[in-house]
Amino acid sequence: MASAAAVFAGKAMATSIISNIVNKAFDYLMDNHKAGGLKSARERLLPQIEVVFDAVDTEEIRDQSRALDAWLWQLRDAVEEAEDALDELDYYRLEKEVKKEQDNKVRKYKRKVIQGFSRAFNLGSLERLRNSVKTLDDVVAGVERFFQVLNHLNIDKMRTHKQDVELRNSRQTSSLPGGLLLGREEERKSIVHWLTKPESNASDIAVFSLVGLGGIGKTSLAQDICSATDVKEHFDLIIWVCASHDFDIEALTKKILQDITGNEITLVGLNALHKALEERLISKTFLLVLDDVWNDERKQDWVKFLAPLKRGKKESKILLTTRMQSVAVVAATKVQEGTTKQVDSRCLRLSGLKETALLLLLNMYAFSGANPDDYRNLQQISKKMVKKLSGSPLAAKVLGGLLNDNKDSSTWNRILDSDFHNIQQGSEGIMMVLRLSYQHLPTHLQVCYRYCSLFHKDYEFTKKELVYLWMGSGLIQPLVDDTTQPEDIGMKYLNTLSEKCFFDMKSVPRLGRAIKCNLYDEYYEEKLVMHDLLHELARSVSASECTRVDLNFSGRIPKTVRHICIEMINPAVIEQISHAKRLRTLLMHFEDQDEVEQVHMLSKVLVVARSLRVLSIITNSSCKLPDSVGDLIHLRYLSLKWGRKHMAHFCWFAKLVDRNRRQE
């Protein structure tokens, strides 16, 4: 279908989308005399569904009633089944139109066979549609039980923060303060001095560790330091890599080489990578930023990782950010090993911002595009809110983005009195503030945000990539009575999430291009990255809907899963995913995986995942696609990449009317 999929589970869905599906289903059935016994169902269905989603915010009841959550999933299943049946009918209608154009090339008897074949498919699809509407009617018939439980829980209304699908907020991302750093002047000055001070007796390499809670501003401070003129002039190379949980030496070395060269690295094996890195660093003074490091156990990995870095000039430095003091201790210890000189490694525990700086930051985002002096009463409320933010700049920015939507004192007071009542201090409190801001997002933005949990931490999205994935998965809701293109709607979604600080903008070198000095020239492109706390939140709120299977995966794949990313394969994963009958997105992103296992898993999945909208396969080796790929009539987005070659990239939107093919 051209319209987006009805996506809801944990939040109210857009009833306009369901209305469109239900009305179109009945029109199909009536036109083909298949609506017998269901004529009164349309009059019952839509009003009851609308009442349900006007009455309840399922995020508030999920932990209190599994029965309600199960009922909502049944409703979602029924709606999506009807949508698939409609999509199937549209597919065969388009196929018939194409064949009709070729009539002059087809002999008469063959044309009759084809027409009979199409009619058989149409009858089967119509029967499927009729059964899906009947199932939807049966599910909605259970709404009385739904309201009995609902009344028992004393939940009467949805939150008043819901916004219209037309995205009334039209501010541009550039209107926000961006990467402005407040309240860290002393820390910045101290670290810049340590990085650039002349040393006549310098050791091989030294490390400065920034330690602090998630969301406290470690990465922002490191970014600001790297942009300082003194720092840029002092170092020949400034390299930035995200380490995260998986301290994979080979992967980290590849990232460093890629950041230096601006090219994708195809070398295999640690020895070859180390040799290439040594050649790049020899006689160079470099600053390496290791962001978000967690490894404090595999100490010998540090020794291997540091070995090629010691080939740089003596005044080269490492700037490290971590939540763990133990990481700073291990890094400093391993840097010291193998040298008789005393290494001047440092560690700074970054505390929360002072309330004055935090209030200034909160107000910058809350009153962006307005004059704060016009809202003296609201400034008094924001002073009270700041006391609950645990000094977190991230929490202040995200909360400010939320408050900016509605500059009404009653709304701000309601958020302060009800939502802030139980917020704790420390890391748990920061997460509670982020969750609060997520809960106040419009439904269509929540769904798009949850989808991003499929990707690993620190994943760098391009705008077009993310918007196309949203479109292919059916997450872009068309505006009512509007001719706006889905790509433009998706960009509005993306800009709004960026404005609310759910994404940060980052300029990175374009792969395969020579690197110039100017960070903002045409050799760089803007990418989006999600803060690790916001990534953790996305995984938490999307657990029943989105699943990511990587080396650390030890849970079970829920049967309700709609979107999945797989980075490793084992028999248990293959068995579980073979039950995911309503899968909409399948991302298979492998580096080292046997081709036979890849094909086996894909074949098993495609047998049941007939509703697939998005299929993306990235692997270092070639992968023979099973013939069943040709049966994916609902597919909207297909991307295949073997090694460095982007074999194919297809996008089908608006029922195949707009077809864009790119092959590199």
Write the DSSP assignment of 80-102 as a string of letters.
HHHHHHHHHHHHHHHHHHHHHHT
Q: Average pLDDT of 222-241?
A: 93
Q: How confident is the model at residue 490 (pLDDT cuts 50, 70, 90)?
A: very high
Instruction: Name the 3-class secondary structure at 563.
Output: strand
Instruction: Name the 3-class secondary structure at 254.
Output: helix
Q: Go through 472-507 and write b for each residue having 16 or more CB atoms within 10 A of its CB, e for each that does not.
A: bbbbbbbbeeeeeebbebbebbbbbbbbbbbbbebe
Q: How confident is the model at residue 315 (pLDDT cuts 50, 70, 90)?
A: confident
Who has greater pLDDT, 140 or 234? 234
Q: How confident is the model at residue 602 (pLDDT cuts 50, 70, 90)?
A: confident
Contacts of the segment 141-148: beta carbons below 8 A, 24+ positions apart = 142/71, 142/74, 143/48, 143/51, 143/52, 145/67, 145/71, 146/52, 146/68, 146/71, 147/55
Confidence check: pLDDT of 440 > 90: no
- CA distances (Å), 112 to each of 101, 358, 531, 579, in order? 15, 74, 59, 39
Rounded to whole angstroms, the Cα distance separating 658 from 664 reads 20
Q: Average pLDDT of 311-317?
A: 87
- CA distances (Å), 203 to each of 36, 318, 321, 329, 338, in order? 85, 13, 21, 18, 11
Structure-token match 């004393």, residue found: 154
Who has greater pLDDT, 87 or 187? 187
Confidence check: pLDDT of 501 > 70: yes
Read off the DSSP letter of residue 659.
E
185 strand-pairing partners: none
Rounded to whole angstroms, the Cα distance separating 429 from 420 reads 10
Q: How confident is the model at residue 480 (pLDDT cuts 50, 70, 90)?
A: low
What Rg, from alpha-carbon coordinates, does the chain have? 27
- For the ranges 58-62, 371-375, 649-653, which has the lowest average pLDDT? 58-62
- For the ranges 222-231, 403-412, 576-585, 622-631, which has the lowest average pLDDT? 622-631
Confidence check: pLDDT of 49 > 70: no
pLDDT at 13: 44
Read off the DSSP letter of residue 416.
I
Q: Average pLDDT of 487-497?
A: 91
Who has greater pLDDT, 265 or 424? 265
Yes or no: say if 238 and 289 are a contact pair by the CB < 8 Å rule: yes
Token output for 362 = 């909160």
* % of the chain with per-residue pLDDT over 70: 68
Yes or no: say if 467 and 488 are a contact pair by the CB < 8 Å rule: no
Read off the DSSP letter of residue 631.
G
Instruction: Name the 3-class secondary structure at 269.
Output: coil
pLDDT at 25: 67
Q: What is the pLDDT of residues 413-427, one digit of tens each?
A: 888 876 666 666 667
Q: Average pLDDT of 244-248?
A: 76
Instruction: Name the 3-class secondary structure at 555.
Output: coil
Strands 524-529 and 585-589: what pairing?
Answer: unpaired
Instruction: Name the 3-class secondary structure at 209.
Output: strand
525 strand-pairing partners: 508
pLDDT at 178: 45
- For the ranges 54-63, 81-90, 634-643, which has the lowest average pLDDT? 54-63
pLDDT at 72: 74
pLDDT at 520: 34
| Average pLDDT score over the chain | 75
Question: Could you give the domains of the chain?
Answer: 15-152 (no CATH), 185-349 (3.40.50.300), 368-526 (no CATH), 543-662 (no CATH)
pLDDT at 288: 95
Confidence check: pLDDT of 176 > 60: no
Residue 176: partners with Cβ closer than 8 Å, 6 or more residues away: 364, 365, 368, 499
Strands 237-244 and 286-293: what pairing?
Answer: parallel
Rounded to whole angstroms, the Cα distance separating 426 from 352 reads 9
Q: Average pLDDT of 375-380?
A: 90
Q: How confident is the model at residue 165 (pLDDT cuts 50, 70, 90)?
A: very low
Q: How confident is the model at residue 360 (pLDDT cuts 50, 70, 90)?
A: very high
Q: How confident is the model at residue 174 (pLDDT cuts 50, 70, 90)?
A: very low
Q: Average pLDDT of 578-586?
A: 86
pLDDT at 240: 93
* % of the chain with per-residue pLDDT over 90: 21
Instruction: Please state, as a whole number, how many other Cβ atoms lie within 10 Å of the Cβ of residue 265.
Output: 19
Which segment, 50-64, 308-322, 510-524, is predicted with the most confidence on average? 308-322
- Residues in the chain, how many? 664
Confidence check: pLDDT of 237 > 90: yes
pLDDT at 539: 92
Task: Show the CA angle centred on residue 272, arms to residues 513 and 524, nearest 5°.
Answer: 15
pLDDT at 64: 47
Q: Go through 280-299 and write b for each residue having 16 or more CB atoms within 10 A of its CB, e for each that does not.
A: bbeeebbbbbbbbbebbeee
Q: How confident is the model at residue 58 (pLDDT cuts 50, 70, 90)?
A: very low
Confidence check: pLDDT of 292 > 80: yes
- For the ranges 217-221, 315-319, 328-332, 403-407, which has the lowest average pLDDT? 403-407
pLDDT at 510: 53
Q: Average pLDDT of 562-569?
A: 87
Confidence check: pLDDT of 57 > 90: no
- For the ranges 62-66, 273-277, 354-358, 414-418, which has the lowest average pLDDT? 62-66
Rounded to whole angstroms, the Cα distance separating 19 from 50 reads 9
Who has greater pLDDT, 652 or 621? 621
Strands 658-662 and 637-642: what pairing?
Answer: unpaired
Exposed, middle or buried by CB within 10 Å (0-12, 13-18, 19+), for 55? middle
Q: What is the pLDDT of residues 69-125, one digit of tens each?
A: 777 778 788 888 878 877 777 777 777 776 666 655 544 434 443 343 344 445 566
Rounded to whole angstroms, the Cα distance separating 9 from 71 reads 10
Rounded to whole angstroms, the Cα distance separating 107 from 15 reads 47
Residue 209: partners with Cβ closer than 8 Å, 6 or more residues away: 320, 321, 322, 327, 328, 331, 332, 345, 346, 347, 348
